[in-house]
Structure 1
Amino acid sequence: MFSRSQYRPAGATQRPAHMNAPQKRNSLLCPNCRRLVSRSAPACPYCGLKKPGSIWKDNIFTRVSGDDTSILRLILIANIVMFVLSLAIDPRATSFSGHPFGFLTPSNGSLLVLGATGSVPLFHYQNWWSLISASYLHGSLIHIVFNMIALHQLGPLIIREYGVSRTIVIYTVSGIGGYLISALFGVRLTIGASAAVCGLIGAALYYGKSRGGTYGHAVYRQIGGWAVGIFIFGLLIPGINNWGHGGGMLAGAAIGAALGYQERIAETIRHKFLGTLCIIVTGGVLLWSAVNGVLLLFFR
């Protein structure tokens, strides 16, 4: 009896050792349409992208954030770091008593140094970078907890329907748009991720309405309930920036319509470039904000 490994047909020769060596991979996924193409192809035969094997196209712009959970985790970590820093800058002014919404409340001074936004920082101090940093600052422990829970409930839906790169753009630009609108309507000082999170709601509402069908209508109804709940919450609780919420929703819907969603337009190099640009700019702003805070903490 011969086993399969023992049997060799008559006249067969052993495969040369050099032929068993691993071959250099000559194919890759097109950075634009994500189909398998030759690395040396002058253009993708599916979408027409020129030189899909170019080094720069297979670098940072095609790897802006990894998987969906990694970008949400990155946003969560950035918010926690900025919240802890805002408490550390002025610990004597931090509130530990009173109602639950006031537990672990940073002082206005520390929030201003770290990049709170509004009509005063924007129009009096010209701190335009605060339109980005404000989305990573929070006024209390329960404030950041609520916003991060909402982000991690909405984020996976938007990533699935728009892709990671477009989600980053929607989140970043919605925060900017929501806070710019609120400043124009006279909100003097404001912070929180809620304008950016409301941008995700706006993008989801546009997606559900545009897509239609059973699934689209279900998304529209469910996310519409979120929007109504946020509006009612803003009317009942004092100090809520309703202009920021509404502006964020409008910005998110507009960006979602401009960039398109996965079923209509597959993720392209342009989307990845915009997503990467948002990450770089946000990272630079938060670094600048943190340096300001640390300098104040150690040299005041």
Structure 2
Amino acid sequence: MAGEDIESRGVEKNNYSSADAFEEGENQWASWLIPVFVVANVAMFLVVMYVNNCPRDFKNRGWSLLGHNDKCAARFLGRFSFQPLRENPLFGPSSATLEKLGALNWNKVVHRHQGWRLISCIWLHAGIIHLIANMMSLVFIGVRLEQQFGFVRVGVIYLLSGFGGSILSSLFIQNQISVGASGSLFGLLGAMLSELITNWSIYTNKIVALSTLLFIVLVNLAVGILPHVDNFAHIGGFLAGILLGFVLLPRPQFGWIERHNLPVGVRAKSKYKGYQYVLWLVSLILLIVGFMVGLVMLFRGVNGYERCRWCRYVSCVPTSKWECDEP
């Protein structure tokens, strides 16, 4: 009986999976970068509203004879008050202010060599509603990822996904400005999806986790077909995030983690499984090629709609309720 007890305990120990190990240690990182990103976005919005100064703009444009609905919203905020809701229903600044402070503008990126706008635009938001929605999503998605994988990898995914979203957006949206952290947020979602795939064997409720994540992604992409929503930034960030997740977020095998406890003469497993190495290499190549091709096309002034006519429906589907802006 004693021998059976020892054997059963040994079997239980051997069945202790890497998922259990990571579940115990998933909070080993304190999340500080994501809160810093939230503070930076909020601070940047305040700067934008300070520069916008709707009352001064109102006076300079001679709107004193216009109706009440054409006046600054929340005028008690002074220079931080919002543009008239007919101009900006998201309670935010004017498009001219956003463009002045770094919004994505195809003409200025390509013809005036202001490539920095591909990054600066992800720190700007069109209004307080836009800001709150994105920051809530960032906290919900980003904090846990940072706790599991650390600030370096999550920070890289956030910035490069936003950059990738800006590139794809610029290739298609060339007559309007674009702002927002949505590309970065979709990048974090994409990284979560690829992390689930590349570490598939360590998860217990695989199908539930995959179905939930895919549902969230599809719902958010579906929202992107509404007018005035930059779905190309969402898609570009999502694709970059998936590839970055395969490159930066694979977890070692449990046998490799426990290599120090192995008896003498027993060979430890390799750090990663074979398919993880394949996904890492393929994703890295696609990531480099994708960024290079996208940048070359962008700075050559390529119009994405000329190469893909049906792509106009990716960002906006016209209905009887609304019309889409012509590309």
Would the alpha carbon gap of residues 215 and 114 (structure 1) be closer, same or farther in structure 2, given more than 3 Å must change? farther
Does 2:91 correspond to 1:104? Answer: yes
CA distance in structure 1 between the aligned counterparts of 2:144 and 2:234, rounded to whole angstroms? 19
CA distance in structure 2 between the aligned counterparts of 1:103 and 1:113, rounded to whole angstroms? 19
CA distance in structure 1 between the aligned counterparts of 2:168 and 2:146, rounded to whole angstroms? 25
Q: Which letter does structure 1 place at the counterpart of 2:118?
A: L
Which residue matches 2:223? 233
Alignment of 1:29-68 (within 5 A): 68=30
Alignment of 1:1-300 (within 5 A): 68-92=30-54, 93=57, 95-98=82-85, 102-187=89-174, 188-212=176-200, 213-235=203-225, 237-263=226-252
Deviations 1:99-156 (A, max 9, x none): 7972432112221221111422311322111111111100011000000000000012
RMSD: 2.4
CA contact (8 A) 2:87 2:94 kept: no
Q: Name whichever of 252-261 and 154-163 sits farther off.
A: 154-163
CA contact (8 A) 1:118 1:190 kept: yes
> If the length of structure 1 is used for normalisation, what is the TM-score?
0.61
Deviation at 1:98, TM superposition (A): 3.3
Q: Which letter does structure 1 place at the counterpart of 2:229?
A: I
CA contact (8 A) 1:131 1:180 kept: yes
CA distance in structure 2 between the aligned counterparts of 1:143 and 1:81, rounded to whole angstroms? 14
Deviations 1:132-181 (A, max 9, x none): 11111000110000000000000123224432210000000000011111
Q: Which letter does structure 2 place at the counterpart of 1:198?
A: F
Which residue matches 1:273? none
Deviation at 1:199, TM superposition (A): 0.3
Q: Relative contact order (alpha carbons < 8 A, sep ≥ 6): 1 or 2 greater?
A: 1
Percent identity for Structure 1 against Structure 2: 28
Would the alpha carbon gap of residues 135 and 214 (structure 1) be closer, same or farther in structure 2, given more than 3 Å must change? same
Q: Which letter does structure 1 place at the counterpart of 2:247?
A: A
Secondary structure of the residue aligned to 1:126 is coil
Q: Which letter does structure 2 place at the counterpart of 1:214?
A: T
Deviation at 1:183, TM superposition (A): 0.4
Runs of 4+ deviating beyond 6 Å: none
CA distance in structure 1 between the aligned counterparts of 2:208 and 2:144, rounded to whole angstroms? 13
Q: Which letter does structure 2 place at the counterpart of 1:72?
A: I
CA distance in structure 1 between the aligned counterparts of 2:106 and 2:49, rounded to whole angstroms? 23
Q: Name whichever of 158-167 and 106-115 sits farther off.
A: 158-167
Would the alpha carbon gap of residues 216 and 165 (structure 1) be closer, same or farther in structure 2, given more than 3 Å must change? farther
Would the alpha carbon gap of residues 102 and 83 (structure 1) be closer, same or farther in structure 2, given more than 3 Å must change? same
CA contact (8 A) 2:165 2:184 kept: yes
CA distance in structure 1 between the aligned counterparts of 2:221 and 2:148, rounded to whole angstroms? 25
Q: Which letter does structure 1 place at the counterpart of 2:240?
A: A
CA distance in structure 1 between the aligned counterparts of 2:50 and 2:42, rounded to whole angstroms? 12
CA distance in structure 1 between the aligned counterparts of 2:247 and 2:135, rounded to whole angstroms? 26
CA distance in structure 2 between the aligned counterparts of 1:166 and 1:74, rounded to whole angstroms? 15
